[in-house]
């Protein structure tokens, strides 16, 4: 039985891994570009292997760890520095302990951090005592946080953190789709802080690692997975853009939502309409290297986040040389992000304009006034799907529609049920398994 998988990113490869366990299936992965991995790419920069896209995956969602174990990729590392900072009022502030996804589950460290004004702190600290009832139905993250904690928690902590991960606006992002852990707390308790508190490690315990990555960079995951798929007989066709459905008994579409919508139109106009309605944000990741002597002070954190109202172009800076042992040394390597749902301008800037904005902002935040000795600009146009309120219901409708209109098809990817690598792996395997159950034995 022939299976065609369209798209060779992590979703397509995870779907292929799930299906290739069945020796009766003849699987072909069609990838439009000349390489596998999609947004996951590790390449040489300033003499070291540096990720261009995601540089780690979340451990709390176990699907990426499980896949690494299955393919024999056991050389995993975690960031040497787990603490990040926030740029506020002209200086960098370490994020305090006691936060879950930017939301305070305990307030003692937040009280001492200086991140909130006295009024903002007082407003946030009454959350456990506020009257109310658990959240019913979906809502925006911003609406929930502003109602429970006030604007400062939303704008100074939750917005930079969660909005940064999704390149989105928390006042439009679905709490159910974007942050299930936070949504669960809001749905089952009148106090989000009290519901989240058990998730914190005891204050005397060493914190568990939050992220992991292959020791050589995220590209190792793609390389090892592709090798194992090859051992299982999976065929890869690179440089093979698909304009119409390939001839196959079953098809898994893992392409971007707009491409998938175009392919689906002849088979299911309703499914195509749902996918075409998803909006996207564009992001520019720029990697820069500076001589160690040109970087003032000690880089004793993993990087910093920037609130939207800070007057900077950059949204975050990752101190890669501090974060990952393999990138330690001279020159210092930083990865800087620009662009989000409310700022599409950076994606159209040329490299020199991107570097001008980064130079200005790094001078202001880190005191770096020298020019980088190397740079690399990576553009992700329409690369980050925006999960609006009600997103998961629309994806449920999409899947039910396809089961009726095109039972030989499955769709998955970043635009569906999670933008993170573990979520993409989980949903790809789930979709592949569901497709297999609809095909003849």
Per-residue pLDDT of 244-289, as tens digits, reads 898 999 999 999 999 999 999 999 999 999 999 999 999 999 999 9
Tell me, what's the pLDDT at 83? 86
> Considering the entire predicted model, what is its pTM?
0.94
Q: Domain 280-385 belongs to what topology? A: Polyamine Oxidase; Chain A, domain 2 (3.90.660)
Q: What is the mean pLDDT of residues 213-237?
A: 98
Position 204 confidence tier, pLDDT thresholds 50, 70, 90: very low
Mean pLDDT of the chain: 95
Tell me, what's the pLDDT at 206? 47
Does the pLDDT of residue 14 top 90, yes or no? yes
Tell me, what's the pLDDT at 298? 87
Tell me, what's the pLDDT at 21? 96
* Residues above pLDDT 70, as percent of the chain: 98
CATH number belonging to the domain at 98-199, selected among 1.25.40.10, 3.40.50.2300, 3.30.70.20, 1.10.3110.10: 1.10.3110.10
Position 13 confidence tier, pLDDT thresholds 50, 70, 90: very high
Buried/exposed code over 361-398 (b: 16+ C-beta within 10 A; e: otherwise) = bbeebbebeeebeebbbbbbebbbbbbbbebbebbeeb
Q: Which long-range contacts (CB under 8 A, 24 or more apart) does 180-184 make?
A: 181/60, 181/100, 181/101, 182/100, 182/101, 182/103, 182/141, 182/144, 183/135
Position 389 confidence tier, pLDDT thresholds 50, 70, 90: very high
Does the pLDDT of residue 106 top 60, yes or no? yes
Q: What is the mean pLDDT of residues 221-234?
A: 98
Instruction: Locate CATH 3.90.660.20 in the chain.
Output: 280-385
Domain 2-78+218-278+387-438, CATH 3.50.50.60 — does that match?
A: yes
Q: What is the mean pLDDT of residues 390-411?
A: 97
pLDDT by residue (tens digit) across 139-174?
999 999 999 999 999 999 999 999 988 999 999 999
Position 207 confidence tier, pLDDT thresholds 50, 70, 90: low
pLDDT by residue (tens digit) across 305-318?
999 999 999 999 99
Instruction: Locate CATH 1.10.3110.10 in the chain.
Output: 98-199
Position 44 confidence tier, pLDDT thresholds 50, 70, 90: very high
The residue ranking higher by pLDDT, 202 or 363, is 363
Question: Out of 130-144, 198-212, 364-378, which region has the weakest mean confidence (pLDDT)?
Answer: 198-212
Which residue's entry shows tokens 């990729």? Answer: 73
pLDDT by residue (tens digit) across 166-203?
999 999 999 999 999 999 999 999 999 999 999 886 65
* Residues above pLDDT 90, as percent of the chain: 92
Instruction: Locate CATH 3.50.50.60 in the chain.
Output: 2-78+218-278+387-438
- Nearest in space to 320 (alpha carbons), one of 217, 167, 220, 206: 217
- Nearest in space to 8 (alpha carbons), one of 165, 170, 223, 292: 223
């Amino acid at each position: 039985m022939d299976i065609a998988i369209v798209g060779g990113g992590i979703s397509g490869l995870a779907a292929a891994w799930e299906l290739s366990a069945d020796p009766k299936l003849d699987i072909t992965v069609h990838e439009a570009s000349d390489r596998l991995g999609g947004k996951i790419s590790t390449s040489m920069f300033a003499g070291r292997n540096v990720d261009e896209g995601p540089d780690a995956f979340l451990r709390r969602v176990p699907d990426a760890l499980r896949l690494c174990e299955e393919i024999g990729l056991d050389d995993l590392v975690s960031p040497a520095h787990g603490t990040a900072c926030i740029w506020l009022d002209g200086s960098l502030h370490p994020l305090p302990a006691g936060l879950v996804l930017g939301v305070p589950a305990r307030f003692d460290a937040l009280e001492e951090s200086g991140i909130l004004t006295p009024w903002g702190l007082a407003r946030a600290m009454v959350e456990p005592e506020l009257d109310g009832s658990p959240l019913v139905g979906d809502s925006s993250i911003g609406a929930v946080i502003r109602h429970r904690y006030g604007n400062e928690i939303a704008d100074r902590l939750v917005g930079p953190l969660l909005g940064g991960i999704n390149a989105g606006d928390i006042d439009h992002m679905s709490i159910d789709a974007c942050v299930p852990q936070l949504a669960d707390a809001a749905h089952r308790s009148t106090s989000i802080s009290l519901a989240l508190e058990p998730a914190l490690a005891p204050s005397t315990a060493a914190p568990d690692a939050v992220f992991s990555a292959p020791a050589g960079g995220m590209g190792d995951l793609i390389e090892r997975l592709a090798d194992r798929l090859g051992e299982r007989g999976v065929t890869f066709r690179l440089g093979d853009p698909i304009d119409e459905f390939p001839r196959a008994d079953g098809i898994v579409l893992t392409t971007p939502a707009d491409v998938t919508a175009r392919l689906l139109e002849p088979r299911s106009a309703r499914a195509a309409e749902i996918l075409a309605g998803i909006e996207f944000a564009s992001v520019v990741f720029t990697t820069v290297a500076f001589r160690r002597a040109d970087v003032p002070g000690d880089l004793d954190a993993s990087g910093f986040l920037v609130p939207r109202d800070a007057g900077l172009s950059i949204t975050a800076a990752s101190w890669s040389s501090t974060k990952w042992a393999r990138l330690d040394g001279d020159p210092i390597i930083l990865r800087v992000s620009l662009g989000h749902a409310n700022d599409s301008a950076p994606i159209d800037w040329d490299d020199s304009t991107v570097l001008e904005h980064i130079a200005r902002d790094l001078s202001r935040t880190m005191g770096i006034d020298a020019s980088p000795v190397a740079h690399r600009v990576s553009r992700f146009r329409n690369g980050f799907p925006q999960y609006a309120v009600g997103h998961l219901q629309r994806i449920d409708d999409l899947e039910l529609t396809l089961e009726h209109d095109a039972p030989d098809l499955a769709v998955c990817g970043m635009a569906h049920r999670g933008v993170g690598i573990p979520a993409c792996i989980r949903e790809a395997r789930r979709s592949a398994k569901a497709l297999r159950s609809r095909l003849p034995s």
